[in-house]
């Protein structure tokens, strides 16, 4: 009897300790899960293709849209070498810009999104449907530099953002050509065939934007659009100093949402779908997730907008024998007195001022002069008659 | 009247001429115009070997490994000794998506040791024996030799049953007991052969495109995909140049330790190595101060955010399109020294380094600072390159997919030493790379054929067609060589096949820009053909009607 009494208390204490230990291990398991969460997405690098398809001063807002997304994506970690930025780039130095070398995205000129470290890869007339499709499919002429290529592999998550003027089933490029939703879907299919992406997020901010993602049929694509078919995407706010509208509504609210994201945040895609309800945006944003394999609840915003690297600790080393390799250790040199290096003469002013005028080669008169003289001779003979010809020749 | 009659006569003649003219217009339009229009609007499409491509698409591999098992004196009883030399073939099916796809075929030849081999096997240490045996082998890529020594032989240390050397041979203990020795050791021999050539897992990983994603482990995401070249960059990050004057002899270190490794992999890809020193390059994370160890700590959770701010400054060659491997050596600032990395359990990491899949590695190099009163303003640091290269080489091997196969305790693996890579590890890499290359070629060509089939108006130039033919032929050669056990030539053929197929697929001329919806086609052709077609059709209708009427006329008057 006496022995039985302490036993239950001891048992109770033991049970309590066991429970507490279980809770403790469950808590650490939770943290472990959080850390392993990184690996769930299966991508190792991030790319972004940001396209602004319009030019001219009154389309200021499209350039501001694209540059704002570019700023956010850079802030969250994607480096310039992994961003392909296509802009007409005729805003900052436009003669109508009251503040040259700037592009503002908030009224009262609060935020300059142009800055001095913008790296535009395709500018001005290089933004064409052909170049865009070449970037996506990889069929680029061999002379193209590395910064203009999309060098993604099968473990890349790609963000594609397009803005401009669009219609039902097409998107207008620079007022002269258009890309249809069928071509875009085919381009994505060719990317999938060659495994040029792991997952793709396609965001489009144009009128009737939802028609552009209707025809997609490749796996692992998630698409967002600012308006449904038959609706127009509206712009947000004009600035009276600059004189044009500065941003589109959808992108404005997406950007407000992205301002709260930092590289370690756990916000998922469902929150992005709720951005800009009809009351704020006037148009109805749409999204498409049926081609995407993961549940949007599990997809982090930073999976596409940021570049969070997967990391593993190095636990092993390869033992090396320093004596075998014949390593000649150079004695540490002190600073050798070398003559200072200087640049070659870029502009030899003295030579230019004192040079003699170059003898220009004689060229026969060009088309205009010839035409003018032919006209004069014709008029002469018409008035005075052909019989005077023998005095000339 | 006469004028009427005169008017009627030429009217009939004119009518006849008019009929003939209309008919000849219609005839020219049909006979000459339509074929001409067809011919001039068709696109030039060279022929492609569709049959060969679909045969490649079914992708049945046979991987043959030639293995020779050599018995030393005293391992086999006399009766079994007399059965040698013996040849045997063992086949195994590797299932992919529950369908048999890859057959691995081990061609075993059993023989007894020659006198020189016997002498080599009785040397003092097993490393010397391995070196001596290398001279006696043919050493073909992909082949293996297993030497069986008596169970009581002192060559292998105590407790070790198998030794796998630096080259392509292994030494194992035979069994002592009665019964068929060949059958008894066959399981162990199979284990050795699989460790040194390929396992089911490694082949499944190589064919990862065809396997659903959830079945793959993290090992598939770490190594780089097979590419024709790689660019390796070694960077020294010095965030505090006013306290530390850091020197590293990178050129000599690369020549001694990294270059032999890259030379061994020379047949696999082209490598270019460069190095740089970056000043004032800080990590994106500020480390915490840990009072217990009076040092600064970088926890495992903050490591992913370290890389991004540095990456923008690393740069890469503008001309090369090869994937880049970055190896960074970070010398912490004086105020943040010493800096240690902690793993997720909170323990300090021995190597003080971490790596990122498909990107590269970072190592933190701590400097011993002398006492503050004796410290000079600028501390000169000479980096110990051996310690650094040991870590970088290990990370380099991991990023290339050269990982350890889990083996039981009694296996002793020889470390690769200064070469960085043993011959059989190279063989493992070549097996998986060859399979991966052929699978890539098959997918590329199949999707190219589908694309060209679906979109009828892409021009197929002659050089694209010749690249496709070359790719198909090389891929077939590679599969034949794999089936006959020649790994070296199979790998070269597969590399050629991949180069040709990539060139064909990514040819800039294959751009599908012309998508015409049907209403646009009508909009283009109607203004061209309608003005011409309407008069011809109407006149043809009129001619037919008149012909019918004139046929009825004679009947009527009759």
Tokens of B432: 């998986």
Grouping H, G, I as helix, E, B as strand and the rest as coil, residue B420 is coil
Return d(Cα B439, Cα B221) in angstroms, integer.
Answer: 17
Return d(Cα A305, Cα B287) in angstroms, integer.
Answer: 26
Whether chain A has a CB inside 8 Å of the CB on B498: the answer is no
Residue B98 has pLDDT above 70, yes or no: no
Q: What residue segments make up the domains of chain A, in order of their start? A: 45-305
Radius of gyration of chain A (CA): 33
Q: Which pLDDT does position B217 carry in this prediction?
A: 58
Whether A281 is catalytic: no
Q: Which pLDDT does position A32 carry in this prediction?
A: 43
Report chain B residues whose CB lies below 8 A from the CB of A315: 349-351
Q: Which pLDDT does position A71 carry in this prediction?
A: 93
* DSSP state for residue B536 in the 8-state scheme: H
* DSSP state for residue B503 in the 8-state scheme: H
Sheet holding A170-173, edge to edge: A166-167, A170-173, A177-180
Taking CA atoms, A148 is separated from A49, A65, A142, A153, A229, in Å, by: 10, 21, 11, 16, 33
Which residue does chain B place closest to A325, by CA atoms?
B256
Tokens of B78: 């006399």
Q: What part of A 17-36 touches B (C-beta under 8 Å)?
A: 32, 35
Whether chain B has a CB inside 8 Å of the CB on A218: the answer is no
Is the separation of the CB atoms in A143 and A150 below 8 Å? no
Instruction: Please report where in the chains the tokens 């039902």 appear, as a residue.
Output: A168
What CATH number belongs to A45-305?
Answer: 3.40.50.1460
Q: Which residue has the higher pLDDT, B168 or A201?
A: A201
What's the gap in Å between the CA of B395 and the closest CA on chain A?
7
Peptide bond preceding B85 in cis form (omega within 30 of 0): yes
Q: What part of B 313-372 touches A (C-beta under 8 Å)?
A: 316-321, 323, 341, 343-344, 349-351, 353-359, 361, 363
Whether chain A has a CB inside 8 Å of the CB on B140: the answer is no
Tokens of A87: 């802009």
Which candidate in A318, A326, A327, A334 is best for mutational testing of the B interface (most B CBs within 10 A)? A318
Alpha helix segments (H runs only) across B359-406: 385-399
* Of B426, B103, B379, nearest in space to B268 by CA: B426
Whether chain B has a CB inside 8 Å of the CB on A190: the answer is yes
Which candidate in B220, B311, B343, B399 is best for mutational testing of the A interface (most A CBs within 10 A)? B311
Four-CA torsion A185, A186, A187, A189, nearest 10 degrees: 90
The winner for highest mean pLDDT among B211-215, B263-267, B552-556 is B263-267
How buried is A151 (Cβ within 10 angstroms: 0-12 exposed, 13-18 middle, 19+ buried)?
Answer: middle
Q: Which of A35, A44, A139 sits opposite B508 (nearest CB)?
A: A139
Mean residue pLDDT across chain B: 83
Tokens of A267: 């916000």
pLDDT tens across B217-266, in order?
A: 556 667 777 788 899 999 999 998 988 899 999 999 999 889 989 998 88
Whether chain B has a CB inside 8 Å of the CB on A294: the answer is no
Cα end-to-end span (Å), chain B: 28
Query: Angle B396-B398-B399 (CA atoms, 0-180°, nearest 5)?
Result: 65
pLDDT tens across B464-499, in order?
A: 999 999 999 999 999 999 888 888 899 999 999 999
Sequence length of chain B is 558
Q: Which pLDDT does position A332 carry in this prediction?
A: 45
What is the reported pTM? 0.79
Whether chain B has a CB inside 8 Å of the CB on A90: the answer is no
Beta carbons of B357 and A310 less than 8 Å apart: yes
A27: region left, alpha or beta (phi > 0 left; psi from -120 to 50 alpha) = alpha
Residue B62 has pLDDT above 60, yes or no: yes
Beta carbons of A154 and B209 less than 8 Å apart: yes
Beta carbons of A329 and B252 less than 8 Å apart: yes
pLDDT tens across A361-387, in order?
A: 887 778 888 999 999 988 988 888 777
Number of H helices and number of E strands within chain A? 10, 11
Whether A23 is catalytic: no
Of chain B, the percentage scoring pLDDT greater than 70 comes to: 91
Which candidate in B223, B414, B508 is best for mutational testing of the A interface (most A CBs within 10 A)? B508
Is the separation of the CB atoms in B342 and B348 below 8 Å? yes
Instruction: Please report where in the chains the tokens 């009929």 appear, as a residue.
Output: B19
Whether chain B has a CB inside 8 Å of the CB on A386: the answer is no
Whether chain B has a CB inside 8 Å of the CB on A336: the answer is no
Return d(Cα A325, Cα B418) in angstroms, integer.
Answer: 7
Beta carbons of B300 and A137 less than 8 Å apart: no
Q: Which residue has the higher pLDDT, B526 or B208?
A: B526
Tokens of B366: 């701590």
pLDDT tens across A199-222, in order?
A: 999 999 999 999 999 999 999 999
Whether chain B has a CB inside 8 Å of the CB on A308: the answer is yes
Return d(Cα B463, Cα B469) in angstroms, integer.
Answer: 10
Q: Which of A149, A180, A194 sits opposite B447 (nearest CB)?
A: A194
Q: How many CB atoms lie within 10 A of CB B312?
A: 16
Q: Which pLDDT does position A35 carry in this prediction?
A: 42
Mutual angle of helices A60-75 and A249-259, in 10-degree steps: 20
Tokens of A290: 């049926």
Buried b or exposed e, range B253-267, using 16+ CB within 10 angstroms: bbbbbbebbbebbee
Report chain B residues whose CB lies below 8 A from the CB of A39: 218
Tokens of B555: 């009947």
Report chain B residues whose CB lies below 8 A from the CB of A190: 447, 451
What is the secondary structure of A278-312 as a DSSP string?
HHHHSS--EEE-TT-SS-GGG-BGGGTSS-PPP-E
* Of B206, B101, B200, nearest in space to B432 by CA: B206
Catalytic entry in A52, A62, A106, A207: A207
What's the gap in Å between the CA of A139 and the closest CA on chain B?
5
Return d(Cα A195, Cα A138) in angstroms, integer.
Answer: 11
* Of A211, A209, A231, A237, nearest in space to A278 by CA: A231
Average pLDDT over residues B277-284: 88
* Of A41, A309, A308, A84, nearest in space to A199 by CA: A41
Q: How confident is the model at residue B445 (pLDDT cuts 50, 70, 90)?
A: very high
* DSSP state for residue B97 in the 8-state scheme: T
What is the secondary structure of A77-104 as a DSSP string?
T--GGGEEEEE---STT-TT-SSTT--B
Query: What is the interface size between A and B, counted as CB pairs within 8 Å?
Result: 180
pLDDT tens across B328-347, in order?
A: 999 998 888 889 998 888 88
Whether chain A has a CB inside 8 Å of the CB on B127: the answer is no
Q: Which of A307, A324, A325 sits opposite B308 (nearest CB)?
A: A307
What's the gap in Å between the CA of B322 and the closest CA on chain A?
9
Return d(Cα B311, Cα B341) in angstroms, integer.
Answer: 20
Which residue does chain B place closest to A178, by CA atoms?
B513
Between strands A156-163 and A199-205, the pairing is: parallel
* A99-108, A167-176, B81-90, range with the lowest pLDDT: B81-90
Instruction: Please report where in the chains the tokens 């002269």 appear, as a residue.
Output: A176
Peptide bond preceding B338 in cis form (omega within 30 of 0): yes
């Amino acid at each position: 009897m006496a022995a039985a009494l302490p036993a239950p208390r001891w048992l109770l204490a033991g049970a309590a300790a066991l429970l507490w230990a279980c809770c403790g291990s469950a808590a650490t398991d939770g943290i472990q899960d959080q850390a392993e969460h990184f690996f769930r997405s299966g991508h190792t690098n991030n790319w972004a293709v940001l396209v602004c398809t319009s030019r001219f001063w009154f389309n200021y807002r499209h350039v501001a849209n694209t540059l704002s997304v570019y700023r956010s994506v850079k802030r969250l970690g994607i480096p310039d070498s992994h961003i392909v930025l296509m802009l007409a780039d005729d805003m900052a130095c436009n003669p109508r810009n009251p503040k040259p070398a700037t592009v503002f995205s908030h009224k009262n000129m609060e935020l300059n999104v142009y800055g001095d470290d913008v790296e535009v890869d395709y500018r001005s007339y290089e933004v064409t449907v052909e170049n865009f499709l070449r970037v996506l499919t990889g069929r680029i002429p061999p002379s193209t530099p590395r910064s203009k290529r999309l060098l993604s592999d099968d473990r890349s998550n790609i963000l594609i953002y397009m803005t401009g003027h669009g219609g039902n089933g097409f998107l207008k490029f620079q007022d002269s050509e258009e890309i249809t939703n069928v071509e875009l879907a085919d381009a994505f299919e060719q990317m999938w065939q060659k495994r040029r992406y792991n997952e793709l997020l396609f965001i489009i901010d144009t009128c009737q934007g939802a028609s552009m993602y209707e025809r997609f049929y490749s796996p692992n694509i998630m698409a967002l659009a600012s308006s449904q078919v038959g609706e127009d995407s509206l712009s947000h706010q004009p600035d009276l100093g600059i004189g044009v509208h500065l941003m589109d509504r959808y992108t404005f609210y997406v950007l407000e949402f992205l301002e709260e994201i930092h590289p370690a945040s756990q916000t998922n895609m469902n929150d992005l779908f709720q951005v800009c309800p009809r009351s704020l945006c006037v148009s109805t944003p749409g999204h498409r997730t049926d081609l995407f394999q993961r549940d949007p609840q599990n997809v982090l915003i930073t999976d596409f907008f940021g570049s969070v690297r997967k990391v593993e600790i190095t636990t092993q080393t390869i033992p090396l024998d320093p004596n075998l390799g014949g390593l000649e250790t150079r004695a540490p040199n002190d600073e050798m007195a070398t003559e200072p290096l200087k640049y070659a003469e870029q502009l030899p002013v003295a030579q230019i001022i004192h040079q003699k005028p170059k003898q220009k080669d004689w060229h026969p008169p060009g088309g205009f002069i010839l035409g003018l003289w032919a006209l004069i001779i014709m008029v002469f003979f018409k008035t005075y008659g052909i019989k005077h010809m023998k005095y000339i020749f | 009247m006469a004028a009427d009659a005169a008017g009627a006569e030429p009217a009939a003649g004119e009518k006849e001429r008019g009929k003939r003219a209309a008919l000849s217009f219609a005839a020219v339009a049909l006979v000459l115009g339509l074929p001409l229009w067809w011919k001039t609007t068709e696109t030039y499409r060279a022929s492609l070997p569709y049959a060969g491509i679909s045969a490649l698409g079914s992708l049945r591999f046979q991987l043959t490994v030639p293995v020779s098992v050599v018995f030393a004196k005293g391992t086999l009883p006399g009766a079994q000794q007399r059965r040698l030399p013996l040849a045997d073939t063992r086949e195994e099916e590797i299932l992919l998506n529950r369908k048999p796809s890859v057959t691995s075929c081990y061609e075993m030849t059993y023989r007894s040791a020659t006198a020189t081999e016997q002498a080599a096997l009785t040397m003092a240490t097993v490393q010397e024996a391995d070196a001596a045996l290398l001279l006696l082998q043919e050493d073909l890529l992909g082949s293996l030799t297993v030497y069986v020594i008596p169970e009581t032989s002192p060559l292998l240390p105590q407790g070790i049953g198998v030794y796998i050397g630096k080259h392509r041979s292994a030494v194992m203990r035979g069994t002592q007991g009665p019964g068929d020795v060949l059958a008894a050791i066959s399981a162990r021999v199979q284990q050795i052969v699989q460790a040194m050539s390929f396992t089911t897992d490694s082949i499944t990983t190589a064919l990862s495109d065809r396997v659903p994603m959830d079945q793959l482990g993290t090992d598939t995401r770490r190594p780089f995909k097979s590419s024709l070249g790689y660019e390796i960059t070694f960077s020294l990050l010095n965030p505090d140049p006013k306290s530390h004057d850091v020197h590293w002899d990178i050129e000599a270190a690369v020549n001694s330790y990294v270059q032999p490794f890259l030379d061994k992999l020379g047949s696999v890809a082209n490598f270019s190595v460069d190095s740089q020193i970056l000043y004032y390059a800080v990590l994106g994370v500020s480390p915490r101060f840990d009072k217990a160890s009076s040092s600064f700590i970088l926890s495992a959770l903050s490591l992913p955010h370290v890389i991004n701010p540095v990456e923008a400054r690393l740069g890469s060659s503008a001309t090369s399109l090869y994937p880049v491997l970055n190896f960074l050596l970070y010398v912490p600032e004086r105020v943040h020294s010493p800096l240690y990395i902690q793993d997720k359990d909170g323990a300090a990491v021995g190597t003080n380094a971490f790596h990122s899949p498909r990107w590269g590695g970072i190592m933190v190099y701590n400097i011993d600072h002398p006492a503050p009163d004796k410290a000079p303003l600028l501390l000169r640091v000479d980096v110990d390159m051996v310690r650094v290269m040991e870590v970088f080489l290990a990370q380099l091997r991991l990023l290339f997919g050269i990982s350890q196969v889990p083996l039981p305790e009694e296996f002793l693996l020889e470390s690769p030493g200064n070469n960085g890579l043993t011959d059989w590890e190279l063989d493992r890499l070549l097996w998986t790379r060859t399979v991966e290359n052929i699978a890539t070629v098959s997918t590329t060509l199949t999707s190219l054929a589908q694309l060209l089939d679906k979109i009828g108006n892409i021009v197929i130039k002659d050089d694209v067609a010749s690249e496709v033919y070359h790719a198909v032929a090389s891929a077939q050669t590679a599969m034949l060589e794999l089936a006959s056990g020649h790994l070296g030539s199979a790998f070269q053929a597969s590399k050629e096949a991949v180069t040709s197929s990539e060139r064909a697929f990514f040819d800039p001329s294959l751009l599908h820009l012309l998508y015409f919806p049907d209403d646009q086609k009508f909009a283009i052709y109607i203004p061209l053909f309608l003005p011409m077609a309407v008069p011809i059709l109407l006149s043809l209708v009129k001619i037919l009607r008149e012909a019918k009427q004139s046929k009825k006329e004679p009947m009527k008057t009759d």
